[in-house]
Structure 1
Amino acid sequence: MTMLRVGFGQRDITPPLGLPLGGYGARFGGADAVLDRLHARAIVIDDGGAAIAIVALDLVHVFADWTVRVRERITRAYGIASERVLMAATHTHAGPAVFRSGIERDERLATYEHAMIEQVVASVADARQRAKPAVLRFGRAAVAEVAANRREAAMPVDHMVRVLSSHEPNGTLLGVLANFGCHPTVLSAANHAYSGDLLGVAATQAAQTLAAPVVFTNGAAGDVSTRFTRREQTADEVQRLARLLADGVGAAVNDAVEVDLGDTSLGAAVGTVPVRWRALPTRAAAQAEVEAALADLEAAHTRGDDARARRVAAARVEGAQAALWVGSYGGWAVLFGERPPVAQLQALRCGDVSLVAAPGELFSSAGTQLRHALGERVLVIGYANDYLGYFIPEAEAVAGGYEALIAMVDPRDESTICNGLVDVALAAGHLRVTSPQMERENGL
């Protein structure tokens, strides 16, 4: 039987105070405090012939050109092939406003982005140095009252946290790779302090409870957030919700079962699929949408709608205003830079468990579809290697709302991206392994 070596590393990537914060268009001014440190958290898995590396970063997103630079450094230093290196942002909205493309740049951000490469490479170096013989286990647990559909609270979302845990042969826990799909937006635009928010704090809490490192990746979170589960938007509420999620990680680790490594323990594949940029409305149409959204919000207040309905209406206003701004200041390039119309996809495989990575915000339904196609032993990772915004299903686009108004990728291409993820998983050697119980729970 193949014996893997697995190691974990972590480096601080908290920027200096004063840098602009990313995630909220309505926020102005730089960071003035630190609620909790930002980190690059790495896991390296080596089967003696090749290795894979996954790094989760407390950032709102990463861009492809930066990922290429990091991969090149890791390949040169440690011989890990670029297609076996995965960079994933947690999508915190309380981190620096990195990779802002055509928006007026703060040179301090460019300096930070460059310096961060050194910390990411160092986190991988630490993971390699600390690697020990290990057995992998896959587990999952339901986490209630953290995530909800942010467009309509009654709509279904995936409440499962999934883990790939690493154990020494004697059973001692070495560390955990965790995955959960939810916008980490407990903190609001009024916050001006650095924080990993939900996932960053949950990683810290789970690591403390388990006495082992935890690397947290975000999932299919495009339409999922804490909008209807948070009681307030404070640091204390971040801690409360993160504790629920951290406890879920512990439960998943406790129930995890050993991964079947098979004949080829590790696999990797990358691919690209063509996408189309969604046509922006004319300035007149965009202005009309803003006015309609504002009228809808005013009507919601006049009717005495509950806080949830008012928040959805307010989000439509935010999306309409953002679309008007984008169209007025140079189109999609102002947010995403000039780039070829392709989505870069990746899959990594550890035995009968696969990780599929998309460069943007998949909806929860996409995660469900991918598990229908590939089985339950899949970690669907969003915000990975690049950022192309929302991948909104056509039916959801028709319904409108914030995500539909600000999505760069044409909704007709959402299915292309999902199908492409299945293809790269199969190219990485994915084997569909699903228990009868899991099939019943997932409607397979």
Structure 2
Amino acid sequence: MKVGSSRYCLTPEKEFYLIGYRSDNRYEPATGVHDDIYCNSLLFEQDGKKVFIFSADVIEFEESMADDVKTLLHNKYGIERDLVLLCATHDHSSVVSYHRSWYTNKFDQEYYDFFIQTILSSYEDCLDSLQTATAAYGKEVIRGYYGNRNHPGQLADNEVIVVKFHDEAGKPFAGFVNWAVHSTVLSADNTMLTSDLAGEVSKKLYDSFGFYPAMIVGAAADSSNRNERKGSDFHELERVSTALAKHISEIDTNNEIILGSIRYQTLFHVIHHNMETVHEELTIEINKMQEQLAEENNEDKIEFYEKKIHNLKKELDVHNYHLDIKGVVINLGNIQLFVFPGELGSKFGIEMKDSTISLGIICGYTNGYYEYFMPKEEYGLSFETIGSKIPKGDPEKIIKKFILASKRLNDSKI
């Protein structure tokens, strides 16, 4: 197999606005650039077939944008649409300019065109840098910096996987880190552009890796450093990113893994929800919050409850919800990518990785954003599921389809 790589800066050159957190300061221009945001790309080629991974320090990719990019790359270079992966690190302090439907309406066509051209340039650089490669990996459960945010003291999917690609001389030249954690050390009060946790860890790994790894976020719906952090400013970001980069750099990556033929299986799942039971749950939750609001004296908490009640009431206007979900399982020899356009509960990530005989890599936040998909036992326990448009039990059905697709690929000859 041949592997190519590229890296580009995505920082805007003119005034811009931030994305994430749905805070009022996102209506005002960013106050500066703390550190640049980047994209890291990988291209895999075997027997004329290619897989392209574009990982960027953004919060999400709209499905419409992903479809445009897939068509553009297919028409220009012949790559199959299902083998194009736009992966977001889920950075809540990134730029909004590329996003057409974000609620602040700060879309910038000029920046969007720049973004699309950067994807094309990244692909072309990957093509130009293709070289015969071998692969090796390592993995380790890292504790103490993030965990299950809904169950303090418990782990989420804390396994970190490092995959490195080596040239014919045995030197690593590209690779990726697969982990499952929100890239959200900084709070909603931050008004400066930053790559936050994922981007900072990638930058800090350069000294030990010799390249900037693409950061691929897995099943991180319920995983963050909320219960472990000692602050929410840039000092805390420096502490946590430095410590995590050190831990990751020390993971033993001497496990060889065979790169082989590129094969894939697409899967589909349709959700059509009449929202009646959701409205019942929402009404109960709104009544609880209104009771809490009536007894509250703290101004910050009063504002929090008022905003939350306002947002929940808007969901009562949604009477029918339809979603056509598309997932893909891709084999790169003995590396298997589970591609999902949303936020999966950490339990599901562990389940899918444990189900495959290959090295399982969860690619969440990829080619779209379909909100939270949590285990049925978690419903009603946290904001991810209260008023969820995803019916209880449907995420389990989707995971079964992923595992079946994985089995079909692994049962066939590599």
Structure 1 and Structure 2 fold alike (TM over 0.5): yes
Distance 1:226 1:95, change over 3 A: same
Mapped contact 2:336–2:358 kept (Cα < 8 A):
no
Name the CA distance, whole Å, in 2 between partners of 1:228 and 1:356: 28
Deviates most, 216-225 or 13-22: 13-22
Which residue is 1:405 aligned to? 386
Which residue is 2:23 aligned to? 26
Which residue is 2:327 aligned to? 345
Is 1:259 aligned with 2:247? no
Deviates most, 182-191 or 347-356: 347-356
The offset of 1:216, in angstroms, is 0.5
The offset of 1:223, in angstroms, is 0.5
**Letter aligned with residue 365 of structure 2:** Y
Name the CA distance, whole Å, in 2 between partners of 1:387 and 1:118: 22
Distance 1:355 1:244, change over 3 A: farther
The offset of 1:249, in angstroms, is 3.1
Distance 1:15 1:276, change over 3 A: farther
1:161-172 superposed matches below 5 A:
161-172=160-171
Name the CA distance, whole Å, in 2 between partners of 1:18 and 1:406: 36
The offset of 1:259, in angstroms, is 1.0
The offset of 1:78, in angstroms, is 2.3
Is 1:324 aligned with 2:323? no
**Letter aligned with residue 340 of structure 2:** A
Identity among equivalent pairs (%): 21
Mapped contact 2:342–2:368 kept (Cα < 8 A):
yes
The offset of 1:16, in angstroms, is 4.7
**Letter aligned with residue 312 of structure 2:** L
TM-score (norm 2): 0.88
Name the CA distance, whole Å, in 2 between partners of 1:237 and 1:138: 29
Is 1:77 aligned with 2:73? no
Name the CA distance, whole Å, in 2 between partners of 1:258 and 1:189: 42
The offset of 1:340, in angstroms, is 5.1
Distance 1:416 1:65, change over 3 A: same
Alpha-carbon displacement from aligned partner over 1:123-173 (angstroms, at most 9, x marks no partner):
121122112211012221232222111112122322211122100122100
Distance 1:354 1:322, change over 3 A: farther
**Letter aligned with residue 126 of structure 1:** D
Mapped contact 1:33–1:193 kept (Cα < 8 A):
yes
Is 1:371 aligned with 2:353? yes
Which residue is 1:389 aligned to? 371
The offset of 1:90, in angstroms, is 0.6
Which residue is 2:149 aligned to? 150
Which residue is 1:49 aligned to? 48
Which residue is 2:204 aligned to? 205
Mapped contact 1:322–1:406 kept (Cα < 8 A):
no
Mapped contact 1:278–1:407 kept (Cα < 8 A):
no
Gaps (5+ residues) in structure 1?
A: 302-309, 334-338, 434-444
Distance 1:23 1:417, change over 3 A: farther
Deviates most, 50-59 or 238-247: 238-247
Q: Number of matched residues?
A: 407
Distance 1:107 1:368, change over 3 A: closer
Name the CA distance, whole Å, in 1 between partners of 2:53 and 2:405: 17
Distance 1:87 1:340, change over 3 A: farther
Mapped contact 2:173–2:211 kept (Cα < 8 A):
yes
Which residue is 2:403 aligned to? 422
**Letter aligned with residue 403 of structure 2:** V
SS at structure 2 position matched to 1:56: strand
TM-score (norm 1): 0.83
SS at structure 1 position matched to 2:386: helix
Distance 1:231 1:423, change over 3 A: same
Mapped contact 2:315–2:387 kept (Cα < 8 A):
no
From the two aligned structures, give the one with the greater helix fraction: 1
Distance 1:289 1:17, change over 3 A: farther
Is 1:271 aligned with 2:277? no
The offset of 1:426, in angstroms, is 3.7
RMSD between superposed Cα atoms in Å: 3.1
Which residue is 2:7 aligned to? 10
Mapped contact 2:273–2:322 kept (Cα < 8 A):
no
SS at structure 1 position matched to 2:132: strand
Distance 1:232 1:278, change over 3 A: farther
Distance 1:281 1:112, change over 3 A: farther
**Letter aligned with residue 410 of structure 1:** P
Mapped contact 2:40–2:214 kept (Cα < 8 A):
yes
Which residue is 1:355 aligned to? 337
The offset of 1:94, in angstroms, is 0.5
Distance 1:57 1:7, change over 3 A: same
The offset of 1:363, in angstroms, is 0.9
Which residue is 1:113 aligned to? 112
Alpha-carbon displacement from aligned partner over 1:358-382 (angstroms, at most 9, x marks no partner):
1111111111111232247211121
Deviates most, 268-277 or 207-216: 268-277
Deviates most, 183-192 or 41-50: 41-50
